[in-house]
Structure 1
Amino acid sequence: MGSQIKEGEEHNQNPPPRLLTLPTILTIGRVAAIPLLVSTFYMNGWWATTATTSIFIAAAITDWLDGYIARKMRLGTAFGAFLDPVADKLMVAATLVLLCTRPLEVAVFGQIPWLLTVPSIASIGREITMSAVREWAASQNSKVLQSVAVNNLGKWKTATQMTALTILLAARDSSLMGPGILVASGVVLLYISAGLAIWSFAVYIRKIRRVLLK
């Protein structure tokens, strides 16, 4: 009887982890916001541009916030760890595709129809390939998995990418001062983020190669 009570107490002290924690709810919210992002993007009026940009900024903030809460309050879950990068990639990919369907004119660069298409393909292609590489690394030993942990280049890539996409979404509002300068700076940052994406991917591959050759 005593052992049964003890086992029951241990069971109560170690409840099963919850599937839906606050960080996971924030992550799910980012996924749910994608249809709103798409619908407001194709609406007319200054409010639509403001709404689209606000949705993207809110998604970027919650991307940082859910990770911070998960670490600070120890609310991380396996489901949340899986969903978080998926939500980020979906939001970024959706925004890149939307911007390619309605490219803004950039007087500095002239008429270049593929101006946004090239960095968008590079960025989305890198994320798809990197997801496959990380999935493969997870099936290998811990050293291989450690070699694809997020590095500083990846963080800089994310920062410049989020900034570029925010600028390009906001620049669709013609009431803003100097929209030409805004668009040009957004395009330049988007190419920088695409370059950092390819560079960081090359670094990951080099690390994996070193581990496998040991």
Structure 2
Amino acid sequence: MNLGTAFGAFLDPVADKLMVAATLVLLCTKPLESGVFGQFPWLLTVPSIAIIGREITMSAVREWAASQGGKLSEAVAVNNLGKWKTATQMIALTILLLTRDISLSGAASLVGSGVILLYISAWLAVWSLFIYMRKIWKVLLM
């Protein structure tokens, strides 16, 4: 059918960000219980704050850049780093959601992978925000 609207194009990324934020908040409400991770209830909170903060900041910056048009819009165009961030984030969230029930066999080893991927995703999120801000700064100084 190939149907699409401007409102749908705007709302789709917003809905994606809301689902990710809701999942991160859900994961933070129940600390990890498997293995060594049970000793650190804040373990998922740190990357979650970084990821949610980056998404809020980038959404505001992209909206502002779109209203300014021109080179600012180009400065905040999606890049490969953002795609890697999203991929690692989705894999991490899937693993962490699937392993919330620690009665699953092998859950403890998977939890470690999920936590590591979530931290990688948070690092990529902060790094990509830095790159976007640097591009915007260069455009503004021109």
> TM-score under structure 2 normalisation?
0.93
| 1:110 Cα offset (Å) | 5.4
Q: RMSD in angstroms over aligned alpha carbons? A: 1.4
Q: Is residue 124 of structure 1 aligned with residue 52 of structure 2?
A: yes
Residue of structure 1 in register with 2:124 after alignment: 196
Residue of structure 2 in register with 1:168 after alignment: 96
**In the TM superposition, what whole-angstrom CA distance separates every residue of 1:49-105 from its partner, at most 9, and x where no partner exists?**
xxxxxxxxxxxxxxxxxxxxxxxx3x3321111110111011001100011111222
Superposition map of 1:1-214 within 5 A: 73=2, 75-109=3-37, 111-214=39-142
Contact 2:76-2:136 within 8 A present in 1 as well: yes
Contact 1:148-1:204 within 8 A present in 2 as well: yes
Q: Which has the higher contact order (CA 8 A, sep 6+)?
A: 2
Which structure 2 segments of 5+ residues have no match? none
Residues of 1 paired with 2:34 and 2:49: CA distance?
A: 19
Greater mean deviation of Cα atoms: 93-102 or 106-115: 106-115
| 1:173 Cα offset (Å) | 3.0
Residues of 2 paired with 1:155 and 1:196: CA distance?
A: 10
Residues of 2 paired with 1:168 and 1:211: CA distance?
A: 39
| 1:182 Cα offset (Å) | 0.9
Residues of 1 paired with 2:29 and 2:18: CA distance?
A: 17
Task: Say if 1:114 and 1:95 are closer, same or farther in 2 by CA, change over 3 A.
Answer: same
Which structure 1 segments of 5+ residues have no match? 1-21, 23-72
1:200 is matched by which residue type in structure 2? S
In the TM superposition, structure 1's runs of 4+ consecutive aligned residues that sit over 4 Å from their partners are none
Q: What is the aligned residue count?
A: 142
**In the TM superposition, what whole-angstrom CA distance separates every residue of 1:99-144 from its partner, at most 9, and x where no partner exists?**
1111222424451121000001100010001111011101213210
| 1:176 Cα offset (Å) | 2.6
